[in-house]
Amino acid sequence: MSNVRKAKHGWILTLVFTLISIAYIMPIVIVLMNSLKRKIFISNRPFALPDAKSFVGIENYINGIQKTDFFRAFGYTLFITVGSVFVIVLCTSMCAWYISRVKSKWTTGIYYLFAFSMIVPFQMVMFTLSKIADMLHLGNPVGIIIVYLGFGAGLAVFMFCGFVRSIPLEIEESAMIDGCNPIQTYFKIVFPVMKPTAISVAILETMWVWNDYLLPYLVLKINKYKTIQIAIQYLKGGYGAIDMGAMMAMIVLAIIPIIVFYGVCQKYIIEGVISGAVKG
């Protein structure tokens, strides 16, 4: 009896969730639909399907790509994201191992400083940080990686430290007795063990850097380097006038790589979010 009821219940739930899921992806479908329509039809009839009168093919895409220099922005965003995430994972994991293994007042203090930096909102440092980055000529895609390492170090060091504490000292000691120097010990023994945390950190930092708007906007030399987020915001001209056609097309282009990334790494993304939540 109860089994029958449960099965029936499950079927209804599946139906309900199917409907909700369809509604959930509707906003993106609507944007996709509008990216194929003439500008005037986007603002006047946003929910209508493209028809013979409103359909413009890929005109919005061509127009948008020219206006935003989209592929350049894509290249910069990719370079900055991959570079920053690689540097953050490598440097902060080494730093976390060092401050966990060398116990002193200094390293404990530094650890708390990293933890403290996690609750400081970007607005607190945005003005001074952008001025300092400017003075040190960090306003380019390579320099901004240093800024990301600095401002993003808190969470990463914190997560790695949490994991290092669970690694038994004996493994490292025996490696050192066998003649490994700390660098060999780190790359042959410690880092492979930390791989799950490294993946979590990489996922969380990727989601942050790829989508970040204000930090690159303030740090980069904006007339030379624009990331995707900045390029899209720039479509909104002065006095709030927006080329809706180009906007819709660029949103679609910006979402495609995200969906590909999500499709390939879904398992890691979900695990990364969970372990990030537990340790953060």
Residue 137, by phi and psi: left (phi above 0), alpha (psi -120 to 50) or beta?
left
Q: Is residue 256 close enough to count as binding other proteins by CB under 8 A?
A: no
Query: Footprint of other proteins on residues 98-127 (CB under 8 A)?
Result: 98-99, 101-103, 110, 113-114, 117, 119-127
Q: How far is the CB of 49 from other proteins (least distance, A)?
A: 13
SS3 content of the chain, % helix, strand, coil (to 5): 80, 0, 20
Identify whether the C-beta of residue 250 lies closer than 8 Å to the C-beta of residue 68: yes
Judged by CB under 8 A, which of 36, 159, 194, 232 binds other proteins? 232
Reading the block at residue 51, the tokens are: 């028809």
- Type of residue numbered 112: Y
Q: Is residue 51 close enough to count as binding other proteins by CB under 8 A?
A: no
**Among the residue ranges 29-37, 50-58, 61-69, 191-199, the one whose residues contact other proteins (CB under 8 A):** 29-37
**Among the residue ranges 52-60, 63-71, 131-139, 194-202, the one whose residues contact other proteins (CB under 8 A):** 131-139
Q: Is residue 259 close enough to count as binding other proteins by CB under 8 A?
A: yes
Judged by CB under 8 A, which of 36, 172, 197, 243 binds other proteins? 172
Q: Which residues of 48-81 are buried (b: 16+ CB within 10 A; e: fewer)?
A: eebeeebebeebbbebbbebbebeebbebbebbb
**Among the residue ranges 43-51, 53-61, 62-70, 192-200, the one whose residues contact other proteins (CB under 8 A):** 43-51
Nearer to other proteins, 63 or 117 (CB): 117
∠ CA 109-199-226, nearest 5°, is: 85
3-state secondary structure of 242: strand
Q: Is residue 151 close enough to count as binding other proteins by CB under 8 A?
A: yes
**Among the residue ranges 54-62, 63-71, 166-174, 191-199, the one whose residues contact other proteins (CB under 8 A):** 166-174
Which residue is listed with tokens 């204000």? 214
Q: Is residue 1 close enough to count as binding other proteins by CB under 8 A?
A: no
